[in-house]
Chains A and B, each alone.
Chain A
Amino acid sequence: MASSEAKLDLLQGTLDLMVLQTLATLGPQHGYGIARRIEQVSGDAILLNQGTIYASLVRLQQRGWISSEWGTSDNNRKAKFYAITKRGRKRLSDDVSYWQRLTGVMGRVLALQNEGDNE
């Protein structure tokens, strides 16, 4: 494993966002592809049971943010491919700006704490 630190648990709702972002950048993907992509991008730093991705996929699909279709993979296997929808892109941009604001605020708040500690 690349990191010796303990793996990060996923915060509620973050997996959905990762899936949307992955589909938005990579285009249509099957479940395995999405899971692998998230692992690779995170540098294997998060604890992801690949199986849980399917709960996220069905949820996003029911909300109308992604669509699915059975298709054939590069190595000629039948697989279900997921693609982000228009509404999904809108949602993604909303969520991204929300996350950025939240992380910004969190960062500032935590920095403040550190200053206090240093004094």
Chain B
Amino acid sequence: MKFSFRESLLRIQSFARKKPLDSDLDEEMATHLQFAVEENLSKGMCSQEAERQARISFGGPQQSKETHRESRGLPWLDTLLRDIRYTFRTLWRERAFATIAILILALGIGANIAVFSIVNTLLLRPLPFVNSRQLAWLDSNRGVGGMSAITYTIAVYDEYAKQNRSFDQVTAYMPFFGQGGYSLTGSGEPLALTGVMVDWNFFQTLGIQPQYGRPFLPGETAKGAAKVAILDNNFWRQHFNSDLSVLNQSVTINKQAYTIVGIMPPSFDFGAAFAPGQRIDLFEPYSWDDIRHWGNTIFIIGRLKPGATVQSAQSEADLLFPQMRAAHTDWWNDYLTRVSSLSDHVRGKLRASLIVLWSAVGLILLIVCVNLANLLFARSVARSKEFATRTALGAGRSRIVSQLLTESFILSGAGALLGLAFAYGIVSFVARQGSLALPLLSSMKIDGATLLWALLITAIAAVLFGLAPGMFVAATNLGDGLHTSSRGSTEGRHYHRLRSLLVVSEIALACVLLVGAGLLLRSFLRVLDVNLGFQPSQAAALTISYDENGIKEHRTAILQEILRRVQAIPGVEVAGISDMLPLGRNRSWGFNAIGRAYQKDEDNGIYVRIVTPGYMSAMGMHLREGRDFDWSLDRPDTQAAVVINEAAAKFHWPGMDALGKEAENFTEQGKTARVIGVISDVRQNSLEDTATPEMFLSYSQFGPEGSELIVRSKMRPEVLSPVLLKTMREFSPNQPVGEFRPLRQIVDTSTSPRRFFVILVGSFATLGLILASLGIYGVISYMITRQRQEIGIRMALGASRADVLFGVINRTLRLALVGIFIGAIVSFAAGKYISSLLFQTEPGDPMTFVAMFIIFICVALLAGFIPAQRAARVDPLVALRYE
């Protein structure tokens, strides 16, 4: 019906003013009757007859009131409110049912909301930069290899910035920054900071302005320019207590005076986008000329011109880089470039995992719906008499169905509210996991999109599980409900089959989840099982700084003294220093074995780590042959010594013993290095990549990129840390307060994304398993309640308790087997979709399938055993009398 605006308004008003309007009408109707009675009396009727006639011509007063309300107010809203009140009454009466239903829904919907906000943050939401779709990322060497292989030199960057026509702006940053590589001194204890060198236009290209102060200026990357820095908001808040007076102030960093020119906004998190799991404290414009000769040191990011795409930039790069290479014969390699969108670079690798996670949680929602459909189905069979009565009193079928849908919407709404609270807990917990090496996680929150999604799945769930009882009502002749008693066993059979179907599908869905989780878990265990090549337990790392006053020769003496003092601490077994730890940053140089011919395109890149004597034993690395470095043997004036890993030995001296052989390229012009030892491979970048060539050089002979002290000791890190710091302080008062990180923690950070997904998918699978077992339990126990008499008769005719028990268990197992069978087939088919996420595990891994089978049979047995026992305890006499 279409109402004019005025009428709609009045209708809403009347709806709100129900009470006064009703009493008005009552009064009017009373007057009406009095008028009629008076008229009838005046016609000569007796008072009784006058009253009777008046009532007859007036008609039913209740009906008049109803039509009055309908024509003045909002009848559908009245109905809805009535349905809602009725639902609350019935649900309150069946509190146990309502509680279970709402809890199950809360788990299902909550898990969905939480995962959606993860997926939304990590995958769907644009990156937190202005017009982030225009941002592109460049990988050298087509993205193959370690960080030194896929970065660029300053010269290449300069040339590309000049020649390309695809980008409005290109910028760069240096990814070879160490954790705690900067030390802030001057106010209180020295502080280890993590800083990144960026080009002056870095923030401008991303479209981010400092919250306070100014961005870097073009001249600030020039050699000899005054040192300036921009602070990360988080660091500023924590260390400077949000004090704005630090702006334009001078601070001492690495013994140099820096002026703080800006503070980034809190929304900017460099680590979240470019270095997951790391917190960056400050940014400085890099001084070009200082690092120009360092080789491949920077990553390039660009903002595409309007109209340019990643593809067009790629085609241009495919032409441009070979041209530039031809013009610059002094370049180290070809810099064949892969252009990708920044978004893909940051989160492309996560897509598969997240989609799996999303599907897993979708399966959970399906299982929840099936479970509830089952519960509601049982309830609507039990309520068939109520429905029949209501039909007999004139309720249309659609009224009953809409009443049932109201109920399912209320249940699912309540579940969603609880689920939202539950999801809020998960989300704020996950967002605080700073050590999780996943990008953008810290910006995770429940936002508008998430709430919309929550609303959508709530509605979908309500319709899905609300359909079951609705179908029941629609399919039955409700009138029959009144005269068929529960003695009829035929009706039970029909519904029982439907409910069995629901349970079977529930089991099958849970199977798929369990298999998926099992495969991921097995991959995770395989990853944990990987031979790291070092012993992470009982060893910890500390970033240290020392002062060699620019004289290389001093370094050896200083480090020797540091190690001597550290090793003198009681409880310290061995200590050593390396410039880079495994599973963190890396760099690579060229390596050529003397006497071996190399193909033109053969990759002679090798990871470099500069170490001191003792480092390899402190790490627990395994020296296969040869010796460790020695301060007295490997001096600046002796031939360079190198320790290589097995992969390097196999690659450069295939089929030969590498020990004692000579190599060059990374050495000074005209000089060679001698292989003094070969170690077992160490996992360099991640636990999941096999080792590539790697070499270790001595601090006394090569320039390091930082210094990480490794201490092996049986003492707990908390106990050792203060002693160690005190020792370091005595030696160099400027040692900043760094974090003493157990090696185990470094390994854990590296496996954290996988652990994160395994925990999530695993808990969903557990949830699915519990729900499926609830489903089995529900169906079996319902079946037993319905068949109590039948069981009673059978027992009266001589069936033993064991017969009944096994009969029920048998039926349970049949249900479970059908479900498992279907689930196994589906899992097998779905397995290949997650094969990219598996590590040394086949999608059809027999162990996983067998384990899934055993778990499910056990769960089904348990779920069936409880009602079966109840059935076996049935007293035939009582059962036969039972109605």
A contact set with B: CB distance below 8 Å: 30-33, 35-36, 39, 49-52, 54-56, 58-59, 62-64, 73, 75, 77-80
Interfacial residues of chain B within 17-45, with CB under 8 A of chain A in the complex: 24-25, 27-29, 31-32, 34-36, 38-39
Would you call A58 and B57 a contact (CB within 8 A)? no
Looking at the assembled complex, report how far the CB atom of A75 sits from the nearest CB atom of chain B, in whole angstroms.
7
CA distance A73 to B6 in the complex (A): 31
Contacts of A78 on B, CB cut-off 8 Å? 27, 31
Contacts of A31 on B, CB cut-off 8 Å? 28, 31-32
Q: Given contacts A50-B58, A62-B7, A62-B11, is CB(A55)–CB(B67) below 8 Å?
A: yes
B contact set with A: CB distance below 8 Å: 4, 6-7, 10-11, 14, 24-25, 27-29, 31-32, 34-36, 38-39, 57-61, 63-64, 67-68, 70-72
Would you call A49 and B59 a contact (CB within 8 A)? yes
Looking at the assembled complex, report how far the CB atom of A22 sits from the nearest CB atom of chain B, in whole angstroms.
15
CA distance A50 to B36 in the complex (A): 10
Would you call A54 and B31 a contact (CB within 8 A)? no
Would you call A58 and B58 a contact (CB within 8 A)? no
Nearest B-chain residue to A50, judged by Cβ: B58
Interface of chain B, main secondary structure? helix
CA distance A25 to B27 in the complex (A): 26
5 contacts between A and B (CB under 8 A): A30-B32, A54-B29, A54-B68, A79-B35, A80-B31
Would you call A50 and B71 a contact (CB within 8 A)? no
Would you call A32 and B32 a contact (CB within 8 A)? yes
Contacts of B10 on A, CB cut-off 8 Å? 62
Residue in A49, A73, A80 whose beta carbon sits within 8 Å of that of B58 in the complex: A49
Residue in A36, A49, A63, A80 whose beta carbon sits within 8 Å of that of B7 in the complex: A63
Would you call A58 and B59 a contact (CB within 8 A)? no
Would you call A59 and B31 a contact (CB within 8 A)? no
5 additional contacts, CB 8 Å, given A55-B64, A63-B4, A78-B27? A49-B64, A50-B32, A50-B59, A55-B68, A55-B72
Of B4, B11, B32, B59, the most chain A CB neighbours within 10 A belong to B32
Of A36, A49, A56, A78, the most chain B CB neighbours within 10 A belong to A49
Contacts of A59 on B, CB cut-off 8 Å? 71-72
Q: Given contacts A58-B72, A59-B72, A62-B11, is CB(A51)–CB(B61) below 8 Å?
A: yes
Would you call B60 and A49 a contact (CB within 8 A)? yes
Contacts of B63 on A, CB cut-off 8 Å? 49, 51-52
Looking at the assembled complex, report how far the CB atom of B770 sits from the nearest CB atom of chain A, in whole angstroms.
55
CA distance A70 to B340 in the complex (A): 79
Nearest A-chain residue to B28, judged by Cβ: A80
CA distance A110 to B375 in the complex (A): 60
CA distance A49 to B64 in the complex (A): 9
CA distance A79 to B36 in the complex (A): 13
Interface of chain A, main secondary structure? helix
Would you call A77 and B68 a contact (CB within 8 A)? no
Would you call A32 and B36 a contact (CB within 8 A)? yes
Nearest A-chain residue to B4, judged by Cβ: A63
CA distance A112 to B63 in the complex (A): 41
Would you call B60 and A51 a contact (CB within 8 A)? yes
CA distance A31 to B64 in the complex (A): 13
Would you call B31 and A79 a contact (CB within 8 A)? yes
CA distance A64 to B5 in the complex (A): 12
CA distance A51 to B4 in the complex (A): 26
Q: Given contacts A49-B59, A49-B60, is CB(A54)–CB(B35) below 8 Å?
A: no
Nearest A-chain residue to B34, judged by Cβ: A77
Looking at the assembled complex, report how far the CB atom of B270 sits from the nearest CB atom of chain A, in whole angstroms.
64
Looking at the assembled complex, report how far the CB atom of B43 sits from the nearest CB atom of chain A, in whole angstroms.
12
Contacts of B39 on A, CB cut-off 8 Å? 36
Q: Given contacts A32-B36, A62-B72, is CB(A52)–CB(B28) below 8 Å?
A: no
Nearest A-chain residue to B7, judged by Cβ: A62
CA distance A39 to B36 in the complex (A): 13
CA distance A78 to B29 in the complex (A): 12
Looking at the assembled complex, report how far the CB atom of B84 sits from the nearest CB atom of chain A, in whole angstroms.
25
Contacts of A55 on B, CB cut-off 8 Å? 64, 67-68, 70-72
Contacts of B64 on A, CB cut-off 8 Å? 49, 51-52, 54-55
CA distance A77 to B6 in the complex (A): 32
Would you call B35 and A32 a contact (CB within 8 A)? yes
CA distance A77 to B24 in the complex (A): 15
CA distance A71 to B10 in the complex (A): 23
Of A39, A51, A64, A73, the most chain B CB neighbours within 10 A belong to A51
Q: Which 4 A-B pairs have the closest CB atoms?
A: A49-B59, A51-B64, A55-B67, A32-B35
CA distance A73 to B58 in the complex (A): 19
Would you call A77 and B31 a contact (CB within 8 A)? yes
CA distance A54 to B27 in the complex (A): 12
Contacts of B28 on A, CB cut-off 8 Å? 30-31, 54, 79-80
Q: Given contacts A32-B31, A32-B35, A32-B36, is CB(A51)–CB(B71) below 8 Å?
A: no
CA distance A42 to B407 in the complex (A): 49
Of B4, B59, B60, the most chain A CB neighbours within 10 A belong to B59
Contacts of A39 on B, CB cut-off 8 Å? 57
CA distance A75 to B37 in the complex (A): 13
Would you call B7 and A52 a contact (CB within 8 A)? no
Contacts of A32 on B, CB cut-off 8 Å? 31-32, 35-36
Contacts of A52 on B, CB cut-off 8 Å? 59, 63-64, 67
Residue in B11, B25, B34, B38 whose beta carbon sits within 8 Å of that of A54 in the complex: B25
CA distance A45 to B408 in the complex (A): 50
CA distance A81 to B63 in the complex (A): 22
Looking at the assembled complex, report how far the CB atom of B584 sits from the nearest CB atom of chain A, in whole angstroms.
75
Contacts of A50 on B, CB cut-off 8 Å? 32, 36, 57-59
CA distance A6 to B92 in the complex (A): 51
CA distance A32 to B34 in the complex (A): 9
Nearest A-chain residue to B8, judged by Cβ: A62
Nearest A-chain residue to B11, judged by Cβ: A62
Looking at the assembled complex, report how far the CB atom of B86 sits from the nearest CB atom of chain A, in whole angstroms.
25
Would you call B29 and A30 a contact (CB within 8 A)? no
Nearest A-chain residue to B70, judged by Cβ: A55
Contacts of B29 on A, CB cut-off 8 Å? 51, 54
Contacts of B14 on A, CB cut-off 8 Å? 58, 62
CA distance A51 to B62 in the complex (A): 9
CA distance A32 to B6 in the complex (A): 28
Contacts of A56 on B, CB cut-off 8 Å? 71
Would you call A75 and B38 a contact (CB within 8 A)? yes
Nearest A-chain residue to B54, judged by Cβ: A50
CA distance A4 to B57 in the complex (A): 18
Q: Given contacts A30-B31, A32-B36, is CB(A58)–CB(B68) below 8 Å?
A: yes
Of B14, B38, B72, the most chain A CB neighbours within 10 A belong to B72
Would you call B32 and A58 a contact (CB within 8 A)? no
Contacts of B32 on A, CB cut-off 8 Å? 30-32, 35, 50
CA distance A79 to B57 in the complex (A): 19
Looking at the assembled complex, report how far the CB atom of A9 sits from the nearest CB atom of chain B, in whole angstroms.
14
CA distance A36 to B14 in the complex (A): 27
Contacts of B27 on A, CB cut-off 8 Å? 78
